[in-house]
Structure 1
Amino acid sequence: MTKPKVKLFVLAGEASGDLIGADLLTRLKARVDLELTGVGGARMEEQGLKSLFDIKDLSVMGYVDVIASLGRLLWRLRQTVRAAILAKPDIVVLIDAQIFSAMLAKRLKKRGFTGPILLYVAPTVWVYKPERAKKILPLFDEVLAVLPFEVQKMMELGGPPTTYVGHPALCLVKQNRHPSPGGPVALLPGSRSGELRRHLPMFAQLVDGLHAAHPDIEFFLPTLEHLEPYLKQQTATWAAPVQIVTNQQKRHELYGKTRLAVAVAGTATLELAFAGVPHVATYVMDRGQEIISKTLQFDHISLPNIILNEPLVPELLFAKADAKPLIATVSDLIANPDCLQRQIDGFIRLTKLMDKGEAGQGEAGFARQDPAERVLAHLDI
C-alpha cells in the first residue's frame, strides 16, 4: 500500500528540540512519505532533514545572549520565512524556540500561509507571562505539550487547543532501580554558549572539590558533537580527567551505572530522571534573568520537582556562581545512599505519571497521545 505524501516544514532551535524533532520524524515516516524542509540538528538530519542552517544560530537563552545575537536571529528569521513559503508545506511544526517560533508563525500567516501551524512544547505560561497563552491563540492550530499539567493550564488561560504527548526521552533509556555507589559522576553544564560560559568555571571548582575528597571518583560530560573540541579544551586543566561523551548509546550506557549527576536545570534533568540517575539541579542566571526572577513566584526550577510538585531533587539557583554550596550538596548526596534511593523511587513515580498523562499537581489528567497522530489529524489524508 502506497503511503500518502506529506510536505512538512519543521523547525527546532536547540538540542532538546532536535531530540523531539527526530522522534516526531521517525514516527511520521512510519505512516507517511515525508518531504522535509526546515531547521534542525544532527538527529533530525539523520531522519532526512537538510537543515537550512546550523541549529547553533538559534540556540541562545537569556537576555544578554539574545540581545548580542539579535541581528543574526532576525536574519535567520527572514531566511526561514522565505524558505517555508517557497516550500509550500502541507503543515508546519515549530518545536520550542518560543519567541522565534511565534514570530515565524506570525510572519507566515502575514505572507498568506493558510495551512495548519503546530507548536511542539508549550510555553511556560504557568510560571512567566501567563498572558502569552491568549497571544499565541491566533498563531497556532494546536500546541503539543510535553508536561502533563500544561493542557489544563493552557485551557484555563485561553490558549490554543493543547494535547499532552509526553517527552520522547521516556522511551530512550532503561530506568535504574538502585544507586550505583561506585559509579562515575555525570556533569551537564548546558549546551548553549551562554550557559557554558556561566557554568563551566563553577563545574571546574566542583570537580576540584570532589576529587580532593574522593580521588577515586571518575567524571564524564555528555554533550553534542560540535561542542566536543571546545569542552575537551576547557576541561583539560581541571583537577581530574573528564570523559567527553557525544555518542547517545554510550551516554545511556554510562547513565546505567552513574553514581549521581550535576545538571543545569532544563530538559536534561528530565532525561536524568527517566534514566533513574540521582542528581543536583543548578542554574546560574544572567543579569536579565536575575531581574525577572525577582518578579516571579515559583517553588522549583527542575522539571522533576515541578511535575511532582515536591522538592525531590536538590536545587541551587545562583545570581553569581558559587561552587561551595554546590560541592556541599553533592558531597552530602554521596554520603547518603538513602537520599539517592529516595530520588530513584521518586523518578519511578514520575515516569509512570508522565507515561499515563496524570497531572501530578492535584489536577485532572489527560491521556498521553502520539505526536505524529496529532500532526496528521490536521491533514486530509
Structure 2
Amino acid sequence: MSRDSLVIFLVAGEPSGDVLGGRLMMALNDATGGAVTFRGVGGPAMQAQGLKSLFPMSELSIMGLIEILPHARKLFGRMRETAAAIDAVQPDALVTIDAPAFAHGVAKRIQDAQIPRIHYVAPQLWAWRPWRVHKFRRHFDHLLALLPFESDWFAQRAVDCRFVGHPAVGIEIGIAAGADFRARHGLDADETVICVLPGSRQGEVTRLAGAFGETLQRLQIRYPGLVAVIPTVPNVANLVREKFNPIPFRKIIVEDVEEKYPAMAASNVGIAASGTVTLELAMARVPYVVAYKLTSATYWLTKALVRVPYANLINLILDREVVPECLQTRCRPEILFAHVCRLLDSDGAAQVESMQPALKAMGLGGPSPSERAAAAVLEIIQAARY
C-alpha cells in the first residue's frame, strides 16, 4: 500500500505501558522527522503524542489471575475490536506494550500475517511459566527487552529479542527539581519527606493503603514533622484520596503526573508498591522499601509457579537484597516501619550507592532506552520490506 508516512499501531494496557508508549512515539517521531502516523490504544501519555485511542485504556488495567475473570467477556470483545482495527489499518508494524494477556489475545486474532508483530517489555517467563515461550513464538515475531539478561534467555529459545534498556534509566531527575518542589509546597529544606507510592491499580491501592497508612502514623511519632508526599495517577486518584485523607498525618497528594519526579527528588526515603516506580526512586537516588500484596488466591497460585528469589529488579540483577522486600504476609506496618527507620537513621546512603551497578546494567548511559527501542522498531520495519 502506497502512503507518505509510516503507520504504526500501538497497544498499551496500563499506565506504565502508556508512559513507555508515549516515550516510544516521541522517539519514533524524532527518528523519522515526523514521518510516522500512530493508531491504537493508549492513555494520557500516548494521547499527548497524538494518539486517538480506540477505546479507554483504563478498561484494560486489571491485574491478577483471579481478578480478571469477571471482566473476561468485555476484554475478549476489546481484543476482537482491536485486531479488526489492525487488519483494517494494515500498519507497517504492530507494537504491543506489556499487558501480555491482552497483547496475546490481540496478536492471535490478526488475520494479516504480513504485519510485523513486536512486543515491547519481555514477559517474565524466566521467572515463572517458562514453557509459555512457545505461545510467544506463535503470536509475535520480535521482542524488545528491558533487562540485560533477557535477550540471551529468549535467544536461546529461538525468539528474536533485542535489549533496549529499561525506561526508568532514561529519565533525568535532578536535585534542583526536588528543591523547587519543596519551595512550591512550602516544605523547608530540613523537613523529612517520605514518598509514598501505593500503586497505579485499584486493587494495589486497596490492599496496600492500610499498611502504608499505619506505617506513616508510626513514623510521625518517631520523626515529628514528617511529611508524606503521595504521587498518584488519574485512574486511582479518587481512591488514593479516599484511603489516605482520613488518616491523621501531614500529607501532600500529588495528582499532576508532571510532579511525580520532582516529588521523588524532594524525598528523603520512599515506600512503594512493586513496579516501575521503584526504579524511578532509584534514579532519583532515594532509598526505599518495596511492598506488595496480592489476593490470597492469586498469591498462592503465583507462589507455586515463580522461580526467582526476588521481586525487585535491583535485587534480582544484583542477586542480593539491597532493597528490603515486604511482600504479602511481610507487608505489615511494624516491618515497614523498621525498614524505613533504618534507611532514615543509617542505611539510606549505602543503599543508594549499592543500586548504581544495577542501573548501569539496565542501560544507564548512552542513548535512551526509548531511542534504542525506536531504532529497533524502524530496523524491523525496514527488514520486513525487503
Do these two structures clear the TM 0.5 threshold for a shared fold by scoring above it?
A: yes
Root mean square deviation of aligned Cα: 2.5
Query: What's the secondary structure of 1:335's corresponding residue?
Result: helix
Q: After the TM superposition, which segments of 4 or more aligned residues of structure 1 sit over 6 Å from their partners?
A: none
Answer yes or no: is 1:211 the counterpart of 2:215.
Answer: no
Answer yes or no: is 1:328 the counterpart of 2:338.
Answer: yes
Answer yes or no: is 1:18 the counterpart of 2:18.
Answer: yes
Q: Which amino acid aligns with 1:349?
A: P
Counterpart position of 1:362: none
Counterpart position of 1:89: 91
Deviation at 1:197, TM superposition (A): 1.6
Counterpart position of 1:162: 161
Counterpart position of 1:361: none
Counterpart position of 2:326: 316
Answer yes or no: is 1:341 the counterpart of 2:343.
Answer: no
Answer yes or no: is 1:250 the counterpart of 2:259.
Answer: yes
What is the rounded CA distance, in whole Å, between the counterparts of 1:154 and 1:252 in structure 2? Answer: 33
- Inter-CA distance 52–368: structure 2 relative to 1 (3 Å threshold): closer
Q: Which amino acid aligns with 1:330?
A: V
Deviation at 1:277, TM superposition (A): 1.2
1:50-89 to 2 correspondences below 5 Å = 50-89=52-91
Deviates more, 1:85-94 or 1:287-296: 287-296
Deviation at 1:353, TM superposition (A): 2.2
Query: What's the secondary structure of 1:262's corresponding residue?
Result: strand
Residue deviations 1:126-161 (CA, integer Å, cap 9, x gap)? 1101112232112212100011111111123x1421
More helix by share: 2
What is the rounded CA distance, in whole Å, between the counterparts of 1:204 and 1:86 in structure 2? Answer: 49
What is the rounded CA distance, in whole Å, between the counterparts of 1:171 and 1:368 in structure 2? Answer: 8
Answer yes or no: is 1:122 the counterpart of 2:122.
Answer: yes
Query: What's the secondary structure of 1:282's corresponding residue?
Result: strand
1:364-375 to 2 correspondences below 5 Å = 370-375=372-377
Query: What's the secondary structure of 2:195's corresponding residue?
Result: strand
Answer yes or no: is 1:351 the counterpart of 2:359.
Answer: yes
Structure 2, unmatched stretches of 5+, are: 180-189
Deviation at 1:58, TM superposition (A): 0.8
Answer yes or no: is 1:137 the counterpart of 2:129.
Answer: no
Counterpart position of 1:364: none
Residue deviations 1:208-253 (CA, integer Å, cap 9, x gap)? 2112222211001111134323322221101213212133442222
Q: Which amino acid aligns with 2:146?
A: V
Deviation at 1:122, TM superposition (A): 0.3
- Inter-CA distance 283–226: structure 2 relative to 1 (3 Å threshold): closer
Q: Which amino acid aligns with 1:114?
A: Q
Deviates more, 1:324-333 or 1:272-281: 324-333
Aligned mate of 2:303, from 281, 293, 296: 293
Counterpart position of 1:187: 196
Deviation at 1:182, TM superposition (A): 4.0
Q: Which amino acid aligns with 2:149?
A: F
Counterpart position of 2:182: none
Q: Given the two structures, how large is their TM-score scaled by the length of structure 2?
A: 0.88
- Inter-CA distance 317–226: structure 2 relative to 1 (3 Å threshold): closer
Query: What's the secondary structure of 1:215's corresponding residue?
Result: coil
Counterpart position of 1:29: 29
What is the rounded CA distance, in whole Å, between the counterparts of 1:74 and 1:25 in structure 2? Answer: 26
Instruction: Give the percent of matched residue pairs that are identical in Structure 1 and Structure 2.
Output: 30
- Count residues with an aligned counterpart: 365
What is the rounded CA distance, in whole Å, between the counterparts of 1:159 and 1:73 in structure 2? Answer: 30
Deviation at 1:376, TM superposition (A): 0.8
Q: Which amino acid aligns with 1:172?
A: I
Residue deviations 1:76-128 (CA, integer Å, cap 9, x gap)? 112211222222211100000111111211111xx234210100000101110
Contact 1:92 1:117 in 2 (8 A): yes
Contact 2:27 2:371 in 1 (8 A): no
Deviation at 1:307, TM superposition (A): 1.9
Deviates more, 1:41-50 or 1:240-249: 240-249
Deviation at 1:27, TM superposition (A): 0.6
What is the rounded CA distance, in whole Å, between the counterparts of 2:108 and 2:68 in structure 1? Answer: 20
Query: What's the secondary structure of 1:378's corresponding residue?
Result: helix
1:206-285 to 2 correspondences below 5 Å = 206-285=215-294
- Inter-CA distance 172–369: structure 2 relative to 1 (3 Å threshold): closer
Counterpart position of 2:187: none
What is the rounded CA distance, in whole Å, between the counterparts of 2:237 and 2:127 in structure 1? Answer: 34
Structure 1, unmatched stretches of 5+, are: 358-366
Deviation at 1:322, TM superposition (A): 2.5
Deviates more, 1:136-145 or 1:348-357: 348-357
Q: Given the two structures, how large is their TM-score scaled by the length of structure 1?
A: 0.89
Contact 1:264 1:283 in 2 (8 A): yes
Contact 2:193 2:228 in 1 (8 A): yes
What is the rounded CA distance, in whole Å, between the counterparts of 1:235 and 1:228 in structure 2? Answer: 11
1:35-50 to 2 correspondences below 5 Å = 35-50=37-52
